[in-house]
């Protein structure tokens, strides 16, 4: 009788272990399926998704996007070179261009800009139209920083590092090759009257908040998105992405990174 009881206990333990294993396997399988329902899921990143989700407790969608951006790794690691110009190209702390990167149709901004400002032609045309329409509302938009060469950004960044150190400089300035200003699609804007650092407190800023997307521009480094963009809030920095994309980004209150890795990343 004692042997029978021991056997039954042993059998129950074995069955319990098998059930536990099956449930765990099912749980993992279901977890994988929660990722796989998204078209931008990448099978090779599954382990990274699991680790990042456990750390951040984000939704499955946000976990996938942020890992695909590269946010589970330190900035400037596992970087990728962008070799072809595109109006929706992404240059950030994980994507860079070389010293020799060329922008087609780089044109001078002859209106509403400081001297020697250059932008990609389509971006330039859209900015001038936006600035003219703002002017008709008695508002002043002026481009104060547009395309920057690799060498210009290198000097600028190095000077910031000398003043504030690498850690702080990295929060507001891009390393050479990693600056969006290399694309000819980014513009720093002021209203002529006051320092650009005060741009958030101007009528021009309020107007842009309501209208920039109609011309294809987005506020590139918005407030409370620093963990995604890698940069402090910059109310003066705008990026041309086209009206369709700008409208979607504004409506959904997301960053360009989030849009890019949901719809454009291959």
What pTM did the predictor assign? 0.88
What is the Cα–Cα distance from 63 to 48, expressed in whole angstroms? 9
Whether pLDDT at 30 is above 50: no
What is the Cα–Cα distance from 221 to 141, expressed in whole angstroms? 18
What's 80-256's CATH class? alpha beta
Tokens representing 202 are 């101007």
Whether pLDDT at 189 is above 90: yes
Residues 209-262 pLDDT 10s: 999 999 999 999 999 999 999 999 999 999 999 999 999 999 999 999 999 999
Residues 122-158 pLDDT 10s: 999 999 999 999 999 999 999 999 999 999 999 999 9
Whether pLDDT at 2 is above 80: no
pLDDT, the chain, mean: 92
pLDDT at position 33 is: 76
Per DSSP (E only), the strands in the chain are 80-81, 95-96, 106-108, 118-120, 142-145, 186-190, 217-221, 234-240
Distance of CA 105 to the CA centre of its chain: 25
Whether pLDDT at 120 is above 80: yes
| DSSP annotation of 233 | -
What is the Cα–Cα distance from 139 to 209, expressed in whole angstroms? 13
């Amino acid at each position: 009788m004692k042997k029978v009881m021991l056997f039954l206990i042993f059998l129950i333990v074995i069955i319990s272990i098998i059930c536990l294993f099956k449930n765990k396997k099912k749980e993992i399988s279901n977890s994988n399926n929660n990722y796989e329902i998204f078209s931008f899921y990448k099978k090779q990143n599954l382990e990274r998704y699991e680790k990042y989700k456990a750390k951040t407790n984000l939704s499955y969608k946000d976990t996938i996007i942020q890992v695909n951006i590269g946010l589970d790794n330190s900035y400037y690691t596992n970087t990728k070179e962008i070799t072809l110009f595109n109006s929706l190209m992404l240059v950030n702390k994980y994507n860079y261009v070389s010293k020799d990167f060329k922008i087609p149709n780089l044109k001078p901004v002859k209106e509403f800009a400081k001297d020697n400002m250059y932008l990609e032609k389509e971006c330039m045309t859209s900015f001038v139209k936006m600035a003219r329409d703002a002017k008709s509302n008695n508002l002043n938009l002026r481009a104060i920083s547009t395309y920057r060469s690799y060498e210009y950004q290198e000097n600028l960044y190095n000077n910031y590092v000398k003043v504030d150190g690498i850690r702080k400089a990295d929060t507001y300035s891009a390393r050479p090759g990693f600056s969006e200003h290399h694309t000819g699609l980014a513009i720093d804007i002021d209203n002529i009257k006051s320092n650009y650092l005060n741009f958030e407190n101007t009528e021009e800023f309020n107007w842009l908040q309501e209208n920039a997307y109609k011309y294809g521009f987005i506020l590139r480094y918005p407030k409370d998105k620093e963990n995604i963009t890698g940069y402090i809030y910059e109310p003066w920095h705008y990026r041309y992405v086209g009206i369709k994309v700008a409208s979607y980004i504004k409506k959904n209150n997301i960053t360009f990174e989030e849009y890019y890795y949901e719809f454009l990343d291959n």
